[in-house]
Amino acid sequence: MKPFILLVAVSLYVMSLQSQVIVPERHGKTNIRGAYDEPLPFPMTQQGVVVTPYQRMVHQDRQSDGMKRLDSMVLQFYNNDLNTILNYWKYTYEYNAAGQNHSMIFAEWDLKKWDWLPQHKMVLSYDPNGLVEERRGYFYFPSYWDTLHFPWIPDHKVINLYNQNHQLVESIDHRWLMGPMQWRPSMRVLTDLDSAGRPLMTELFSRDHQQSVWNKSMLVKYVYNTEMLPAEIIKHLWSDYRNTYQIRRRTLFTYDHYGQVSNEILQWYDTLTGLYHNSQMLTLEWDQNNNLIQEILYGYNYYSPGWNPQWKYEFDFDATQNITARNSFYFNYSLQQWDHMSMDDLFHDNSWTYSDLLLPYVIDMNSPEYFRHKLDSVVGYQAMGLAWERIQVGKYYYSLYQPIAVDVQQPLRHKVYPNPATTMVTFELPELDGRFRVGLYDLTGRQILHKEFSRQVSFSVCNLSPGVYIYRINGANGLVQTGKLVVGL
């Protein structure tokens, strides 16, 4: 099995080209692997609002130095027989003047031409609030379009619609028809939110082009516990025969006393008995710094009732909270032990923190945990008996980016109270309209949490360790304000 860097990057590209379905925000960190967000394998967003890279705050002491912008990522593999390194695939990211990631190109290395051959492209456009308004996907087919000198063929596009609070409530997916050379809608996603912006229900429709109507396809309902954390996600499929939705499966979430997800259990629904039956379980373990250090996936055995381990992932962190290694294991039932499959070593440059980085749309949404500091390279190994064989390396290439100038001598009015805070804290921008984001960081630059809000937001600090934290508030055009928040002192 290939190490995670190939699997994650390819899966992120595929997910980025799909329509977005809102998944409720989890308290604390998200699942790093991101492959078990049942029942919908779509990227997770903060209250339905796409947090684009350019909306991140800039350190005041970095105003003169600028930011590090991720321009490309190259995966190379080792040919141990020839004792050489060969290119495999590459992502190239382009940005507009505001620092928004407007395109991403995926290319593979052509051994015959000894050059990069483009395969896919994603193009993004934004609304005035900095939210992704449209995503278009293309694939590369130069021989078909040689006469027109336009090798990129449209594949599909997604149009996002937001409510007055800038929360994603509707997405419409279109497919490109080569014959009539036009876009045709294919899928529609509607989301119902509560007053706090949490999703209550997401419904998917497929387009019947003969009747020119939207047909019901799937319904997802969200149930929250007393702490307003997701407790159940229930998936229904539409039955034309019964003319109603029928339950298919659900995912149950349990949490530890810090509010971190500790278990996710996937169950399928038996329509004959009206009962749920276990299918898979994911257990998660966190360290004292709220870092995810272990995931174990189990399958349910109905012949000998009980959970059987299948896969395990372990993460190592350094003193600055960087992920330094990821190990994958499979369970050997013959020997009743975990056997190593692959290992990845991650190398960072700690002189640049997450807030100093300008990251592309897909990476910023799905794997910010890997970029708490500037990620330079990832080296992948495969277990070969009792030895390790180096098989691939991922390299990240950056350039210096100067953000739009901000007048830090005249900060906009804001309120933070109480400060010091012991239970709750409130951030308020009474004179400003629009959507803003407040991020809370520890003194190492590690992001503890972030919230989206309009004018005012309140949240609990009971789970935070006593100490001094840095807050940064930003909007669509860059830096608004930074300051210190004292908790529990």
> Tens digit of pLDDT for each residue in 175-199?
999 888 889 999 999 999 988 888 9
Residue of 360 and 309 predicted with greater confidence: 309
What is the rounded distance in angstroms from the CA atom of residue 222 to the CA atom of residue 18? Answer: 21
Residue whose token pair is 């912006």 = 197
Q: In Å, what is the CA distance from 145 to each residue of 26, 112, 137, 151? A: 45, 22, 17, 5
If you average pLDDT over residues 62-78, what whole number do you get? Answer: 81
Give the model confidence (pLDDT) of 239-266 as tens digits: 999 999 999 999 999 998 878 899 999 9
Sequence-distant (6+) residues with CB within 8 A of 294 are 283, 284, 285, 312, 313, 314, 315
H/E run at residue 10: helix 4-16
Residue 366 clears pLDDT 80, i.e. is over it = no
**Exposed/middle/buried for 88, CB within 10 Å: 0-12, 13-18, 19+?**
middle
Query: What is the strand order of the sheet 467-475 is part of?
Result: 447-453, 436-441, 467-475, 478-487
Residue 489 clears pLDDT 70, i.e. is over it = no
Residue of 411 and 114 predicted with greater confidence: 114
Question: What pLDDT is stored for residue 60 in this prediction?
Answer: 33
| Residues 333-363: b if buried by 16+ CB within 10 A, e if exposed | eeeeebebbbbbbbebeeebbbbbbbbbbbb
Residue of 383 and 258 predicted with greater confidence: 383
pTM of the model: 0.72
Enumerate domains of the chain plus CATH numbers.
4-401 (no CATH), 415-487 (2.60.40.3080)
Residue 240's DSSP bridge partners are none
Residue of 18 and 123 predicted with greater confidence: 123
Do residues 317 and 287 lie in contact, with contact meaning Cβ atoms separated by under 8 Å?
Answer: yes
Question: What pLDDT is stored for residue 128 in this prediction?
Answer: 78
H/E run at residue 15: helix 4-16
Q: Up-side HSE of residue 449: CA atoms within 13 Å toward CB?
A: 18
Question: What pLDDT is stored for residue 281 in this prediction?
Answer: 98
Residue 384 clears pLDDT 70, i.e. is over it = yes
Question: What pLDDT is stored for residue 207 in this prediction?
Answer: 94
**3-state helix, strand and coil shares in percent for the chain, rounded to the nearest 5:** 5, 60, 35
Average pLDDT, the chain: 80
